[in-house]
Structure 1
Amino acid sequence: MVLPQIHTNDAFHYHWMVWKLTGIKAPNGFPQLPYTIYAISINLFVTILFPLTLIMNLFYTDGLQEVCENLTITITDTIANLKFLNVFFVRSKLLSIKDIVDKLDIRAQNEPGQRKVLQQSVQTARATFKMFWGLYSFGTFLSLCKIAIANDRSLLYPAWFPLDWRNSMGQYTIVLGYQLFGLIVQAIQDVANDSYPAAYLCILTGHLRALGLRVRKIGKNSNNLEANYSKLIACIKDHQIILELHVIIQGIISTACLAQFICSGLVQCTVGIYVLFIMGKNEISALILSGIFFLAVTLESFLICYFGHNLKQESEDLTNAIYDCNWTNQLPKFKRTLVFFMMRTHRHNVILAGNYIPVDFPTFLLIMKYSYSVFTLLVRLK
């Protein structure tokens, strides 16, 4: 029975849909010139102008409460756009991953256990995208509800516009329409920006786990010593491909991870100060929005560190997989090669944020600790 071809690149299907929609890469067969004009227009109109209206509003606020209300979304949106620009600069590397992953997929084509591992990785990667989609959709819906129940004219988010929208219905409609369009585009961008590091780590971990399953089986179902040696060489070559994939993913998500860690710390402190000391008792909608931002930035950092931890753990388990294979009855050249392979696996695969900070659970705990420390310092200075 011929099994259907497995494609772990499907894990990034939603991300590429967003990136094509927001100007990163033209869809296949689409004329380049019209798409370039479209990409420049939407990114000037939204990616640059939208956060600029939030930043400018900081200079026109009248109190600490308004500053905190605006600062939370300004920090989140500005760093999200920086992550989007990072995707633009590394888009060629993102495209190169497709061919590498396809090579690894072929190895697992007729192995039910390995297929299951890779399919689970694809499902998990897609689930992270859908989770952020739901979170940002709810935040957008809540902003619309805030406008609907407001007694006076208000905006979806505090922002500055060179229009008298408070006293002109026409200008208010223009400003609100722009904010709604910009918010939807930014939310779509943010879903992809926040979920793609976790998705790529998930697929990298899945292929490392599948390799471990292949290594464990060497020599257990075959007495052909030369064939077993060939299988070992094939596994070593697959490991080299995975290491190449690791280097590419490191270069792609390193900056994004560092930006996310910084964003998490800043937003957590801002939301904490705002909720505990500034927000009025009846501002339920503001409380919920602040909670969504707090949850979003914390969840983003947690997921990155979670999948980074899984990658490190799977890298360590590969050494155990080498021990588990039937190496005792193999050829001398098999054993010599196995020793070199084992020595290489002792250098565990770890993603570094900013090429310095390990993306792992201890880092997440450190972020939470530093955020709390800064928060308590601000409380004492208050």
Structure 2
Amino acid sequence: MVANQEGLDTHSAVSYHWRVWELTGLMRPPGIGHLAYRVYSVVLNSVVTVLFPLSLLARLLFTTNMAAMCENLSITITDIVANLKFVNVYLVRSQLHEIRVLLRRMDGRTRSVGHPAELSALRREVDIAQGTFRTFARIFVFGTILSCVRVVIRPDRELIFPAWFGLDWQHSTRNYVLINLYQLFGLIVQAVQNCASDSYPPAYLCLLTGHMRALELRVRRIGYRMEEDGSSGGDLDYDAWREEVYEELVECIRDLMRVHRLREIIQRILSVACMAQFVCSAAVQCTVAMHFLYMADDHDLTAMIISIVFFTSITLEVFVICFFGDRMRTQSEALCDAFYACNWVEQLPKFKRALLFTLARTQRPSLIFAGNYIALSLETFEQIMRFTYSTFTLLLRAR
């Protein structure tokens, strides 16, 4: 049990994400000088994060064909929003470091309590968060391979992504190879960035849910230890036990304040990213669906498959955020119920007063809001899908 307690590190839920942020120039890893890492970060992000979407946008301005415009627009919107989310990570990096410090403190508290159910609940959320990253990684790998296969099997020359570079790549093999190599490099870097940007919101929601669950289990045990131990004794033992239970409640209230602090920080780091994701998804779903219809008319099977994968990925990104936001809300309600479930009847008056104040604080379930307005819940996902379907129907009639 001691080894298991010492091994608890809930921040490992985002270890993949931190590794990606280190590789892509956002978080300087230990052992690398400031100047060298800054040069590396500026060069990499200038070549990929800035130039890559600009080449897509330039091509979009020269597009006149409707089917090509739908394809280019969906890719351009997705790439620009993905880069904005990547920039948002850079802007909130101080909050990410603050979460890291706070999680260490909360892990230390869980280790000091040492209850197996709490440790198991936290490890389960860490596994879910890491599994979510791996799922997104598989999707991005599949999409990357599919894009490359499409270029290889096409009878005529075609770039991985429709982009403009001001070079004649259709009649120059050298330019064609160099541009495709650049796009392949940019695609890999962007895919890695997007994988981390899309999966870190559910990862942090998992961390918040896990610590809420651990605290719920801790609160439910308040006041029952004496009965479980079968202890008996005089009034002195009983009064000492009630004082001990009160101190236990005070510690749990401090834990609750840390959970609320964690929720506040996560709200700040996810607000802009989730709002951008919602807006992007609604727009891209419509354009991808329109592009699919045009490719169906042209019988372009590879483009149709890419459209289906792209549409599924965009929808999955929104669903995952809303699903984990809904899980967190449900867990916050269970945490509130836990304070009612503790053995408060036999306790001191000061215990009951502290409990009443705490209950007043926990009456409203905790929610994370996109743009400080739209709740991350399954109801929101349903509304987004309805809005997308309505917009697509309108565009279909206009077609």
Q: Does the pair score TM above 0.5?
A: yes
Match in the other structure for 1:3: 3
- Alignment equivalent of 1:288, drawn from 302, 305, 313: 305
Moved more, 102-111 or 80-89: 102-111
Q: Report the secondary structure of 1:165's partner residue.
A: coil
> Which residue of the partner structure matches residue 42 of structure 1?
44
User: Which of 69, 94, 97 is the aligned partner of 1:95?
Assistant: 97
Instruction: State how far apart, in whole Å, the 1-side matches of 2:88 and 2:64 are.
Output: 34
How far the C-alpha of 1:276 sits from its partner, in A, is: 2.4
CA distance in 1, matches of 2:350, 2:337: 20
What secondary structure sits across from 2:224 in the alignment? coil
Give me the whole-angstrom Cα distance separating, in 2, the residues matched to 1:111 and 1:324. Answer: 18
Q: How far apart are residue 62 of structure 1 and its match?
A: 3.0
- Residue of 295, 301, 306 corresponding to 2:323: 306
Provide the C-alpha distance between the structure 1 equivalents of 2:350 and 2:258, rounded to a whole number of angstroms: 22
TM-superposed deviation, 1:281? 4.4
Query: Following superposition of structure 1 onto structure 2, how do residues 1-382 of structure 1 map, counting pairs within 5 Å?
Result: 1-4=1-4, 5=6, 6-109=8-111, 110-222=114-226, 224-277=241-294, 279-382=296-399
Provide Cα deviations, 1:315-356, integer angstroms capped at 9, x if missing partner. 111121111111111111111111111111102211010011
Q: Residue 383 of structure 2: SS of its match in structure 1?
A: helix
Deviation at 1:104, TM superposition (A): 1.1
CA–CA separation in structure 2 for the residues paired with 1:350 and 1:174: 48
Question: Is the contact made by 1:142 and 1:289 (CA closer than 8 Å) also made in structure 2?
Answer: yes
Give 2:233's aligned residue: none
TM-score with structure 1 length normalisation? 0.98
Secondary structure, in 3 states, of the residue corresponding to 1:62?
Answer: coil
- The CA distance in 1 between the partners of 2:115 and 2:309, in whole Å, is 42
Mapped contact 2:295–2:303 kept (Cα < 8 A)? no
Q: Is the 8 A contact 1:64 1:278 kept in 2?
A: no
What amino acid is aligned across from residue 146 of structure 2 in structure 1? Answer: L
- Deviation per CA, 1:280-312: give whole Å up to 9, x if none: 443111111111111111111111111111111
2:3 is paired with a residue whose SS is coil
Aligned length: 382
**1:130 and 1:212 mapped to 2: Cα distance?**
29
Distance in structure 2 (CA, Å) of the matches to 1:301 and 1:307: 10
- Report percent identity of matched pairs: 48
Q: Distance in 1 between matches of 2:294 and 2:24?
A: 39
Matched-pair contact (CA < 8 Å) for 1:267–1:293: no
Native 8 Å contact 1:9 1:98 kept in 2: yes
How far 1:130 sits from its partner (Å)? 0.4
Larger radius of gyration: 2
Work out the CA distance in 2 between the residues paired with 1:50 and 1:280.
30
CA-to-partner distance for each residue in 1:40-88, whole Å, 9 max, x for gaps?
0000100010011111111122310110111111111110000000000
Q: Which runs of 5+ in 2 are unaligned?
A: 227-237
State the Cα deviation string for residues 106-157 of structure 1 (Å, max 9, x = none).
2222110001100010000001100110000000001111121111111111
Bigger CA drift: 141-150 or 248-257? Answer: 141-150
Matched letter for residue 279 of structure 2: I
CA-CA distance at 1:3 after TM superposition: 3.1
Q: CA deviation at 1:197?
A: 0.5
Calculate the TM-score normalised by the size of structure 2: 0.94
Counterpart-to-counterpart distance in 2, 1:279 and 1:92: 47
- Offset at 1:277? 4.3
SS of 1:108's equivalent? helix
Secondary structure of the corresponding residue to residue 152 of structure 1? coil
* Counterpart-to-counterpart distance in 2, 1:205 and 1:257: 18
Q: What is the deviation of 1:19?
A: 0.2
Per the alignment, in what secondary structure is the counterpart of residue 225 of structure 2? Answer: coil
Three-state SS of the structure 1 residue aligned to 2:365 is: coil
Q: CA offsets, 1:213-250, max 9 Å, x none?
A: 00000011136111111110001001101111111110
